[in-house]
Amino acid sequence: MDVKVFDNKDQASEAAFEFIKAGLANGATTLGLATGSTPIPLYKHMTDSDLDFSNITSVNLDEYVGLAPTNDQSYRYFMNEHLFNLKPFKETFVPDGLNKDAEAETKRYDQVIADHPIDIQLLGLGQNGHIGFNEPGSDFNGGTQKVHLTQSTIDANARFFEKEADVPTYAYSMGIGSIMKSKKILLLAFGENKADAIQKMVEGKPTEDVPASALQNHADVTIMIDKAAASKL
């Protein structure tokens, strides 16, 4: 793992933008994208830039089960608002949170990933070490799954909803096995509340208790974090 520590998240986000830009210049055509507050400054760099994404495909990590694309808390809505409406992509994929048939949806999304191998996968990090919505205990070799969110994830994400009862309890998430098939991985994490997860991910033994620790087994992972997130290394 190549761990790069920056003074603050603005500097890290600028470096992340340069990383994506270099990847595209080197021929990347499919980006794996993430939601959450962490990638927002990176997406702002992308939308402010003169980069052309009209030949680029994106495959997002996850979506809440039960939320429509028009719901302002859905990840499809988030991606449209922060990136796709401002920078047209060739094609954009996000799991379909309205598909009630979990088996069909997870199969469909695995096929999307197989048909569009990911050149660069962008990741955030949950406070409990989750990536995408792969909670502790997730199979390191797994494909897309319907996940029951942990209380810690529901609590962490409640800040985006009017009340905690509105936070969905299930999500569809790309599996760790699929994330590991990406050619390159770029993980971003900012702030003191990510320091424990960063320490376990980088210095702990790979264990399913810390989903992000699987990344130690990937040959091309770059971690860009601020000083606060690096404070326990």
**Per CB under 6 A, does 38 bind ligand GLP?**
yes
80-112: b (≥16 Cβ within 10 Å) or e: bebbbeebebeebbbbbbebeeeeebbebbbeb
- For this structure, is 134 an active site residue? no
Cα of first residue to Cα of last residue in the chain, in angstroms, is: 13
* Residue 124: half-sphere exposure toward Cβ, Cα within 13 Å: 23
Residue 155 phi, psi (nearest 5): -60, -45
Give Cα separations from 26 to 19, 20, 49, 119, 224 (angstroms).
11, 10, 18, 10, 20
> DSSP character for 182?
S
Please pick, among 60, 128, 134, 157, the residue that the annotation labels catalytic. 128
The amino acid occupying position 127 is Q
Q: Which of 60, 96, 105, 130 is catalytic?
A: 130
Judged by CB under 6 A, the number of residues near ligand GLP is 14
The one catalytic residue in 134, 135, 157, 226 is 135
- Return the DSSP state at 206: P
CB closer to ligand GLP out of 24 and 179: 179
Footprint (CB under 6 A) of ligand GLP, residues 188-217? none
Kindly tell me which of 50 and 212 has the beta carbon lying closer to ligand GLP. Answer: 212
115 is catalytic: no
26 as an active site residue: the answer is: no
Q: Tell which positions 124-183 bind ligand GLP, by CB under 6 A.
A: 124-126, 132-133, 153, 157
Whether 130 is a known active-site residue: answer: yes
In the list 30, 35, 121, 213, the residue contacting ligand GLP (rule: CB under 6 A) is: 35
CA-based nearest residue to 75, from 53, 43, 102 = 43
Identity of the residue, 26 or 148, whose beta carbon is nearer to ligand GLP in the bound complex: 148
Is the Cβ of residue 25 or residue 198 nearer to ligand GLP in the bound state? Answer: 198
Q: Is residue 58 within the footprint of ligand GLP (CB under 6 A)?
A: no
37 binds ligand GLP (CB under 6 A): yes
Total residue count of the chain as it appears in this document: 233
Residue least distant from ligand GLP (Cβ): 124
Q: Vertex 83, ends 30 and 188: CA angle to 5°?
A: 70
Among 61, 113, 197, 201, binds ligand GLP (CB under 6 A): 61
Positions that interact with ligand GLP (CB under 6 A): 34-38, 61-62, 124-126, 132-133, 153, 157
The catalytic residues are 62, 128, 130, 135
